[in-house]
Each structure stands twice: as structure tokens, then as C-alpha cells.
Amino acid sequence: MNIIPFSMGNEIAARNARIAEAMAGEGIDAMLLSSFANIYYATGRVFCGYVYITADGNATYFVKRPNDLEGENVVRIRKPEQIAETLAGKMPATVAIELGLAAYNTVLRLQSVFAGAKVADATPIINKVRSVKSEFEISKLKTCGIHHEAAYSRIKKVYREGMTDVELQIEVERILRNEGCLGQFRIAGDTMELFMGNLLCGRNAEAPSPYDFAMGGEGLDESLPVGSNGSLIKPGNTVMVDMCGNFNGYMTDMTRVFRVGAISDLAMRAHQCSIDIHRRLVKMAVPGTEAKVLYEEAMSMVKEAGLEEYFMGLKQKAGFIGHGVGIEVNELPVIAPRSRDILEEGNVIALEPKFVIPEVGAVGIENTYEVRPDGLECLTNAPEEIIELY
Amino acid sequence: MNIIPFSMGNEIAARNARIAEAMAGEGIDAMLLSSFANIYYATGRVFCGYVYITADGNATYFVKRPNDLEGENVVRIRKPEQIAETLAGKMPATVAIELGLAAYNTVLRLQSVFAGAKVADATPIINKVRSVKSEFEISKLKTCGIHHEAAYSRIKKVYREGMTDVELQIEVERILRNEGCLGQFRIAGDTMELFMGNLLCGRNAEAPSPYDFAMGGEGLDESLPVGSNGSLIKPGNTVMVDMCGNFNGYMTDMTRVFRVGAISDLAMRAHQCSIDIHRRLVKMAVPGTEAKVLYEEAMSMVKEAGLEEYFMGLKQKAGFIGHGVGIEVNELPVIAPRSRDILEEGNVIALEPKFVIPEVGAVGIENTYEVRPDGLECLTNAPEEIIELY
């Protein structure tokens, strides 16, 4: 099997060129990528091993597993020390390694492979490169958005009176999987874990979670304290659905809200405020805009509406209203008050101004957008109003 | 909410004592645990922060999130530097940190928190402690086994002629989730990723995967190349089901095989060889047995049966036939030819001698066992023969 899937066309050469350009700006001679997400970005395929990219944009693929990958510049290895043998005489003066992701012991071992080289951190560089999506990537994300929307449109049909949040979530999982969702919810780093997404009903939305998600939930077990907890879905409750949109290695992030019976005016008003924030930010978020300005604008609209105490959680508040998304759910840019990120054309961001209303549940929507010259283009086009379940 | 769930009783004090004992043997004054799996082990709950255990068996809980945890020795922090303030004057001479798991940058930051202290690796120590399960943990694993078995017993009912492997897997996922499975498949380190388990049909079992699992499979997408790939389940095929047994933070590992129509004698014989290996190892695996001896015994039975070329994969072979399991799927001991592990009473191991038969698919079973004074006690008691789907 060719290491670069043929469907990738010239995409990989273009990515290598962008990575090389980013390295040159930092005085780096070579970058060694080792995490599955970065290997997937650099080749279009997950394998176990390393991608080594030099300042001229050439890549060498050191593959441990699987044993059936071939193609130009593929070197089969059993252990990282064999990288040094291949590079003998062409050792970089400065090599960038994923210091922000790879385990300490792993980095020490790689440092000795590149003995004598100065080691830099590849993580911020590759994260920045990955934050600007190519047409190819945008197209994959658009496909996700279409399937994501198709799956959500069937949620109403599987609701039955007397269901618990978990029972409904299991049916939503099945809808998504049958629509082609891979299920996997890829997260960079070690601050979050989740099974396939979050569905929050009623008061459970008030429960703070250990994870760095926008919303919490008690979860079913102390070992995974997030999301649905077995609550009965009752009249007057909302059900917030924020489930996995990974259909092809990329993922869209989309949240929609359902209700049983009538819900309070406060909840309806907060939901509309979330939609209004989206409408405003869609126009503001042109390339060059500071990410923090989007946060500030959202916060000022929330304050104007007198909804601050419910915004982004009750007992514990999330510190952001949006984030980059692509191969992983927590990419750049971060839409937060202290973010230094500046929007670029080709960023793909999920905006999720949400509220938790006491006794009712969570409201507000999340959409995934492409940053275009004239503002945001929505990739997740399901209806945004609160949908009644009956 | 109390940081130690009340259901844990005296369990945590006993675990702290065992951790302290293991540290003393290594000349370590304190251990700082930061990964979700180790925090769960040390408290019975996942939170974001650190558990700091000293050589006298006392634990301090530094909690970043959630903000509603309380109890003895709970210190709320925003950043790890605040650990130093709390410990001022009581800094350890040697502190063990998860060097094998935590990211390089994370470790550097923690090293500066413990400035002046010698840093040791907590990973092998805590892994060894966790490999010997308490009665409390065995009881959780037994519960998993019962639910795991109950779910597998319903697989036959959801099969319909003309299904693909993915369609069947989605129904198995739903059965498991409705039985109480949390879905999450916890894995230590970064050599594997998987969505909820593996279901392999026919020739797809021959496809090598990048991951360090016993079996492979092409998967549905290059971004997650493992498991079902959309193959039609045809007469003469086997379907190997190896799905997630996490019902309470612990997980059992169990594989069973199904078939459509008649399958080759070779496949039937290989499946029986797997069962025979289990029968033999159940008696051999008493405390004090070298893990590698179990591997050697299995391999010698396989050779005697003339089945070596099919054992543990065709094009790419797994290098082990079993592994510890508990909070994560890849715990100690490892049952492999170069393993130095020695079985101890209270180990919980999954044994999975499996075969890939060309054109037919994968056969062989996997069970999770407790190591007891007189050998292995099975925690996953579903019928072991190949079950016909129709």
C-alpha cells in the first residue's frame, strides 16, 4: 500500500512546503512528527512511526507498523535509533520534536537519536500550520457538516416519552454511526476525554466536569465524569446534543437543542441570544480579527441581555466560547479573553456561546465555520431553533 | 462532593499504603500522579489536577477542576506552581513523576515546581502497584464480566443476513451501551487508538494495523486504520467480536467468534487450539510463573498443531498473547516472549491466543482471568465455541 493515499494528490507536497516555510521562520532544519494526529496530517494516513521533514520540504517516512506500507522515502524501522543510521552524515543542527505532546521519556530517547542537535518544540509550529486548512481539508469538513446535519435531523424520530438522557444518547450514537461517523473523538493533549460526544438534559447541565469542555455533566460513573447521567427527560427540560462529527478523519462540531413541552422564557431568550451572537460574529470574524475580540463581543452581548450568570456554565464556567477544529477538537485559534490568536483565512472554528439555565438545562448552539475573506461560512447547517421532542 | 467517593470505603487508604511501600523500595519520598487513569486509581474519581502521595502513605489532592470537590487534604489550584506554595518547607528530596506518560513540557514545568528535588519515574512503580488488584477491584471486574457476557449473548439476535461488518458492529455497540457499557476504551500511552472495540469479518482480519493490538483490520478510513471496513458478512466467514467491556471504570477484555454457514476445518481446528491453550494456561498460571513461560507454552501447542503460520496474524504478527487489564487495556503483566514479568496473586490478565485463517477470518477466544493461588479464575464466562449467525 502506498504510504501517501493516492486520493491525496498533491496535497501532501503542499503541506510539506508549508511546514518547511514555518520551520525556516524559526531557524529549524528538520521536524520529526510522531503523534498519530500529526502523522495523519503529514501523510493522509495514520501509522506508527515518524515523519521527518527537512527545511527543503522533503519528507522521509520511518515506519514501525503496519508492515505493508511502501513508496518513495519509506524506511522501515523497529526502533527510533535506526533513524540516526538513515540520516548518518545529514544530521540537522536544530531538530523540532513534539515537546508539547510526546512523553518525557520518549523525548529523551529521540534527543539521543539526534545527539548533538539543538532540540526545538515542534508542537506550536505544526499547530499553527494545521490551523489554516487547505481547500482539500475544507472539502472534507464540508462533507462532515452534511453528514452531521443529516444525522441530527433524525434525532426527533428516535425520541420516545419516558426516555433517559443515556437512552436517547445511545440512539443518537447509532444514527451517527449509521450515517458514517467513525465515532472517534480525537483530542490533542491530556486535558479531556469523552465517549463520542455529549448529551445534556435538565439539571445535569449544571454539574461541573474535570474536563476542558464548554459544558459539563455528571456522567454515568466517577471514571468518566462528563455528559449524560441517566436523568429522565422531563417536560420543561432541554436536551443539548453535542455529538461527534468525525466522518472522515476530520470533524465538524455542532450543537443543537431540543425540548420536551414548554420551557421557560429565560431559556428561550438565552437560546436566541446565542443565535444572535453567532449572527454578529459571522460578520465580524474576518481575517486579521483578534480572537479575543470575538470573545469580548459575545460577552458584551450577553451582558447587555442580562444573561451573564448563565453564560458558559453556572457553578463552573468555561473560559472560552470557541476553538479551532479539524483533525482534533481542540485546534487553534482559541476564542478566549487572553487568546493571542489572530484569525486567518482558512481557519476553521467552532463557536459555542452556550447558557445553563437552572432547572431547565443547557441552551445555545454551536456551529463550525470556515474563515473566509468576508467573514464566516457555516459548515453545519442544521436548523438552529429549539426543536420540540414528542 | 467529597473527593473520595464514599463507596470506596477504606480502599484508598490501602492503595496509598501500597504505593508508599513501593516508593520506599525505590528511595522515593513522594509521588505526583497526574494522568486521569492514575488519578482515578488513587482516588476513585477522575479530576483534573494532581495526587501527591508521600512515603508515609498520606495523600494531598491538588484540584484544578471540577470546582465542587472537597474533603480532607483537598487544595484547589489553578496552576501546578501552587503545589510548591502548599509544600513549602516540606519539599521531597526525591519526587517521582509520570515520566513515561506526561508530555516533556509538562514534566519540565513540574521539575521546576520541585526545584532542587531529584526526579524519578513514577510510571513503572505505579504500573506495578496497579497490576495487583484488590478485592474491591476484582469485584468491579467481575461485574464487568457479567455485563460483558450478557451483552454478547444478544449478538445473535441482531444479526441479519446481508449485513456488513460495520452494520453488525453498530448493533453490538448499542447492545453494550444499553447494558451499561461506558463506551470509553482507556489505553495507556500513545501506541493505540480505537473506537469502542474491534469487530473483524473474513479477509479483513488479514489487514495489518499500525496499532499495538493483537489483531488488525483495515478500518473504514485512513485516519483510524483498524477494525471493520464495511465488508459484507458472507457464508464461510467468521466474525470476531472483541468489544469494550468498560462498565464501571474497569474493563474486562473478551473475544468471541461467530460464523455464517460452515467454515473450513482449518478454522475450526485453530479455534479449538485457542480453547486448548486457555485450558492449559489456566492451570499453569499460578503466582510465581514467568509470563514468558505462558507465551512459550502457547507457542509450543500452536507448533504442535501445525498452526504457526496463522497464529497472532498472517502478514503481521502480534508479539504477545496476553496482557494485564483493569482501568486500562494495556496493563502489566505482558505475556510475551521477552517479558520479565512474573505472575502475582491478584493480577488480572487477558489471554488472547488467536489465529487468522486465509479467506475465512479470525478465530480464537479471549478471556479475562484473575490470578489466584491455584491458577486462573475466569471473569468472562460466555460460551466459547463458534456461534452460528443466521
Q: Looking at the structure, do residues B13 and B25 belong to the same domain, yes or no? A: yes
- Determine, for residues B209 and A103 on separate chains, whether the beta-carbon distance falls below 8 Å: no
**Could you list the pLDDT tens digit for every one of the 390 residues in chain A?**
999 999 998 999 999 999 999 999 899 999 999 999 999 999 999 999 999 999 999 999 999 999 999 999 999 999 999 999 999 889 999 999 999 999 999 999 999 999 999 999 999 999 999 999 999 999 999 999 999 999 999 999 999 999 999 999 999 999 999 999 999 999 999 999 999 999 999 999 999 999 999 999 999 999 999 999 999 999 999 999 999 999 999 999 999 999 999 999 999 999 999 999 999 999 999 999 999 999 999 999 999 999 999 999 999 999 999 999 999 999 999 999 999 999 999 999 999 999 999 999 999 999 999 999 999 999 999 999 999 999
Question: Does residue B310 lie in a domain region?
Answer: yes
What are the phi and psi torsion angles at B200 (to 5°)? -120, 125
Question: Does residue B1 lie in a domain region?
Answer: no
Question: Does residue A296 lie in a domain region?
Answer: yes
pLDDT at A220: 98
Closest by CA to A245, choosing from A120, A149, A334, A358, is A149
- Count of domains observed in chain B: 2
Question: Which of B130, B148, B174 corresponds to the end of one domain?
Answer: B130
Confidence of residue B78 (pLDDT cuts 50, 70, 90): very high
Q: Looking at the structure, do residues A60 and A190 belong to the same domain, yes or no? A: no
Does residue B189 sit at the A interface (CB-CB below 8 Å)?
yes
Q: Looking at the structure, do residues A126 and A142 belong to the same domain, yes or no? A: no
289-328 in B: which are within 8 Å (CB) of A? 315-316, 327
0.95 surpassed by complex ipTM = yes
Q: Looking at the structure, do residues A60 and A123 belong to the same domain, yes or no? A: yes
H or E segment at A64? strand A59-65
pLDDT at A9: 86
B73-82 long-range Cβ contacts below 8 angstroms, 24+ apart: B74/B3, B77/B49, B80/B50, B80/B109, B80/B110, B80/B113, B81/B113
C-alpha angle B213-B216-B218 in degrees, rounded to nearest 5: 140
pLDDT at B89: 85
Kindly report, residue by residue over B226-248, the tens digit of the pLDDT.
999 999 999 999 999 999 999 99
The residue type found at B145 is: G
What is chain A's length? 390
Mean pLDDT of B309-314: 98
- Determine, for residues B46 and A225 on separate chains, whether the beta-carbon distance falls below 8 Å: yes
pLDDT at A89: 85
Question: Does residue A280 lie in a domain region?
Answer: yes
CA distances from A148 to A205, A347, A381 (A): 23, 20, 9
Instruction: Give the domain extent around B51.
Output: 6-130
Contacts of A42 in chain B (CB under 8 A): none
Question: Does residue A176 lie in a domain region?
Answer: yes
CA distances from A274 to A243, A303, A321, A364 (A): 19, 12, 11, 5
Q: Looking at the structure, do residues A141 and A262 belong to the same domain, yes or no? A: yes
The enclosing domain of B222 has a CATH number of 3.90.230.10
Does residue B220 sit at the A interface (CB-CB below 8 Å)?
yes
pLDDT at B272: 98
Measured in angstroms, the CA of B285 and the nearest CA of chain A are apart by 30
H or E segment at B230? none
The enclosing domain of B23 has a CATH number of 3.40.350.10
Closest by CA to B233, choosing from B388, B49, B345, is B388
CB A325 within 8 A of CB A278: no
Of B99, B196, B225, nearest to A105 by CB-CB distance is B99
Question: Which of A130, A146, A175 corresponds to the end of one domain?
Answer: A130
Does residue B210 sit at the A interface (CB-CB below 8 Å)?
yes
Question: Does residue B36 lie in a domain region?
Answer: yes
Q: Looking at the structure, do residues B90 and B182 belong to the same domain, yes or no? A: no
Cα–Cα distance for residue pair A337/A47, rounded to 1 Å: 37
What are the phi and psi torsion angles at B40 (to 5°)? -60, -45
Cα–Cα distance for residue pair A35/A20, rounded to 1 Å: 18
- Region for B329 from its dihedrals, namely left if φ exceeds 0, alpha if ψ lies in -120 to 50, beta otherwise: alpha
β-pairing, B30-33 vs B94-97, is parallel
CB A80 within 8 A of CB A71: no
Q: Looking at the structure, do residues B362 and B247 belong to the same domain, yes or no? A: yes
Of B170, B224, B316, nearest to A184 by CB-CB distance is B224
Record the pTM: 0.98
pLDDT at B9: 86
Beta-sheet strands, E only, within chain B: 30-33, 48-54, 59-65, 74-76, 94-97, 118-121, 197-201, 238-243, 245-246, 251-252, 256-260, 322-324, 331-335, 348-351, 355-357, 361-363, 367-372, 375-378, 387-389
Q: Looking at the structure, do residues A231 and A167 belong to the same domain, yes or no? A: yes
% residues pLDDT > 70 (chain B): 100
Question: Does residue B62 lie in a domain region?
Answer: yes
Q: Looking at the structure, do residues A102 and A168 belong to the same domain, yes or no? A: no
Number of H helices and E strands in chain B, helices first, is 10, 19
Closest by CA to B334, choosing from B309, B351, B357, is B351
pLDDT at A197: 97
β-pairing, A355-357 vs A361-363, is antiparallel
Q: For residue A360, give the 3-state DSSP assignment.
A: coil
Of B40, B123, B184, nearest to A195 by CB-CB distance is B184
Q: Looking at the structure, do residues B171 and B201 belong to the same domain, yes or no? A: yes
Q: Looking at the structure, do residues A91 and A234 belong to the same domain, yes or no? A: no
Question: Does residue A1 lie in a domain region?
Answer: no
38-97 in A: which are within 8 Å (CB) of B? 40, 44-49, 64-68, 97
Question: Which of B130, B160, B184 corresponds to the end of one domain?
Answer: B130
Cα–Cα distance for residue pair A303/A350, rounded to 1 Å: 22
Kindly report, residue by residue over B170-214, the tens digit of the pLDDT.
999 999 999 999 999 999 999 999 999 999 999 999 999 999 999
Q: Looking at the structure, do residues A198 and A326 belong to the same domain, yes or no? A: yes
